Chain A
Amino acid sequence: MRIFIVLIVVFAVVAALADKAPIFSLQDTQGNKVKLGDVLAKKGCVLIDFWELSCFSCKQALPKYQQIYNKYKDQGLEILAISVDSVRTVSNVAPYVSGIGLTFPVLLDTNNDVFRNYHVEIMPTSFLIDCTGEIRFTHTGYKPGDEKEIEEKIVEILKDYAGQKK
């Protein structure tokens, strides 16, 4: 019981600290290496979305994110959709994402290392990261309509980015 209380206290203390996005380097479906640090150096807002082929809600969200990407990519938005499919199913990821017409990078985390670094508990989970690498918004699960709140947050972060550039 004492251990339990100690851990909860530690958790409560560290929860107050700033949220820095863990850096990573993963291959995309085209075989290119994508480093989060490089992306943050060029973009004002990065949406990281963890998903997998067997997750129905995840697949509902992806086309909506494509619409958001088309709207804001020229203003500094990048989307990195991280597939956590294992080697058993990862071969189906690239044909699926090209089939549904996604144009943003889809990264392959077959060992789930990045998935664990981001401490994802619910699928899908999305993180909005600003150009300083700070996680500004986290969204768990997906229902149609949720993308509207995500879009509002993206606009907010891109406004800050535009202000910093000036």
Chain B
Amino acid sequence: MNRTLILVLVLLAANAMALDVDVSGSNVLETRVEKVDFVSNPDSAEASVVDHMLFDVLIGNNFTLGSEVDVRLPRRSKFSGLEEYSTSILDQFHFIYRDDITNITAGHYSATLGKGLTLRAYRDDDLEYDHTLTGAYARVMPIEQIDFGMLAGQHLRSDEGLFQPDNVQGAELTVRPVNFIYVGGSIGNERRFSITNYHDNILISGGYLGATIWKFSLYGEVTEPDWTVTSIDTTTLALVKTHEIGHGRYGNLQFNYPGIGVSLQYKDYLKENGDYTSPPPCTHTGSSVNEGADEEGYMGEVTVSPLAGLQVYGGYAKGDGQALYTYTPLPPEPPVTYVLPSDLTEYWGGTQYMGIPDLTLNADYVHSFPHNTTLPDSWVEEGQDIPSVSADLIISKVHTISLSTAYEMRHDSNQSFNAQKGGLELTDDKYYYLRPSLGYSYNSRIYVTFDYERTNHELAVVAGQPPAKTQWLFGQARYVITDQHSITVGYGTRRGGKVCSGGMCRQEAPFDGLKVNLTSSF
């Protein structure tokens, strides 16, 4: 609250002193009335109001004071009568000084060193993942050929109170000796508390080289993660510190010629799975076979435009990983360590055709098939094949009709130990999701979309709970009031996941009810 007041006072004071002040930001206000499937009352509904505001105050040409404010009106539980959550505000706050040579941020920030093998502190709202830092980050570019960055920050974990904040430091230097080559080195250190009052330390250092020659671009990065891990010996209850060295190797070769683009990538990671690292997964879907713990793989992708208005792309990715699992039986039997392999295969292809002026046709196909060994003799496969087609027809200057459908074929196999039967059991489940969608837009001002989804995947009924849905229908209308303001009203049921509708893509949670969303920018 104090910081919000400071921000408002700075805004008013700067105006009073006739400083050159510019304010920009956005605001999303969402009201929902949604059905909540409680066991005792399957037809109960709850209302909620959430407001999310971002704003920056630019003072003069160099200083920016910004904040991200998240306000949720308190909502009382229908059953207990207690306040479910209180008003929460001011998640993030930052102060930036920026000129041609220097960029200094104090407060909340994201940072990436190299390609994320040494350090990556970031936030992904779609995945509700937040590993941003609070502290200071400075970048200096004294001349065009040199870029130096240094950062130090803390991250308050969600289990704050039990653990102290993580401490992160990093530095990076990039030098471009000639126009077509750059070399750099980076170092990152994360200190995180694994057990109350005891911490793990992960120090990662590395170097990289990039070059562009004619239409070819080459990038290579090598790192060495150095882990010091604190654990408790289960037999003696003594603290044990272990020291382990890993490696990170990432390479990328590109060919970029107008009308032809080729990308080849290679990865080999061991112990690159720190909380503040995020090495490239080298896959189409962004899935990683083992999140950098111990994996190798490669990926190739080609995009071409053989004719005007026609684009074709396709690719293949393969990854292999392994995890270690230690089984500790009762003494005097010694612990047994198993190596559990996993692999991921992906191939994909697609085309977009815009040959006829007012018709756009798209076809896509994605195959992603991970196989993970969970225990000796036990494994899980959750593969999916998703062909999809869509057509957009511009009827006149103001009317556009869109039709699309995706057919997602899923194949879940699971071999696991069944304690009741006393042996291995194989379950093999094949099912589909069919997602047709119809859209209409008027004059780039009104968008109406109907999304239908059905599946033949019937989940077992849990006693006391309504049966899982097999059909979903959601209707949505968006009216663009002005360039800065739009209102969206949606009603129906949604399965959730990544949804692209009415020309927008975002991650949606499962939903059943009515929601009204007012989005503004200023």
Residues of A that sit less than 8 Å from B by CB: 1, 3-4, 6-8, 10-11, 14-20, 22, 29-31, 33, 54-60, 63-64, 86-89, 91-92, 94-101, 103, 110-113, 116-123, 137-146, 148-149
Contact = CB atoms under 8 A, between A and B. Distances in A.
A16 B484 CA distance: 11
14 contacts: A7-B69, A15-B520, A57-B504, A63-B352, A89-B286, A91-B252, A95-B256, A100-B303, A100-B305, A119-B521, A123-B504, A141-B502, A142-B503, A144-B400
Secondary structure at the B interface, as helix, strand, loop or mixed, is strand
Given A100-B305, A143-B400, A1 B73 contact: yes
B137 to A, nearest CB: 10
B260 interface: yes
A16 B439 CA distance: 33
A1 B212 CA distance: 56
Given A8-B51, A91-B219, A144-B392, A99 B261 contact: yes
A6 B9 CA distance: 13
Nearest to B480: A140
A88 B73 contact: no
Contact of A111 (B55, B122, B503): B122
Contacts of A15: 484, 520, 522
A14 B12 CA distance: 11
Contacts, number: 225
Given A56-B500, A94-B263, 17 more contacts: A3-B89, A14-B55, A31-B217, A55-B505, A60-B362, A91-B263, A99-B305, A99-B311, A111-B110, A111-B111, A122-B506, A138-B483, A141-B447, A143-B447, A145-B400, A146-B441, A149-B444
A19 B24 contact: yes
B261 A98 contact: yes
A63 B212 contact: no
A139 B483 contact: yes
B359 to A, nearest CB: 8
Closest A-B pairs by Cβ, 5 of them: A99-B303, A95-B261, A99-B261, A119-B26, A141-B503
A98 B260 contact: yes
Interface residues of B, number: 93
B309 to A, nearest CB: 8
B519 A99 contact: no
B522 A88 contact: no
Contacts of B8: 6, 10
A57 B213 CA distance: 33
Given A14-B23, A113-B110, A144-B392, A88 B261 contact: no
B23 A17 contact: yes
B51 A4 contact: yes
B255 interface: yes
Contact of A94 (B217, B354, B392): B217
Contacts of B11: 10, 14
Contacts of B302: 95, 99
B46 interface: no
Contacts of A88: 116, 278-281, 286
A144 B444 CA distance: 9
A95 B53 contact: no
A117 B309 CA distance: 34
A27 to B, nearest CB: 10
B159 interface: no
B180 to A, nearest CB: 8
Nearest to A144: B392
B503 A57 contact: yes
A122 B25 CA distance: 14
Contacts of B1: 3
Contact of A140 (B256, B278, B504): B504
A101 B305 contact: yes
Interface string B390-411: 0010100100101000000000
Contacts of B320: none
A96 B314 CA distance: 11
Nearest to A64: B354
A54 B447 contact: no
A95 B402 CA distance: 28
B56 A117 contact: yes
Contacts of A110: 112
B54 interface: yes
Given A117-B56, A137-B483, A96 B313 contact: yes
A6 B1 CA distance: 12
Contacts of A137: 483
Given A1-B73, A87-B116, A137-B483, A121 B26 contact: yes
Nearest to B402: A143
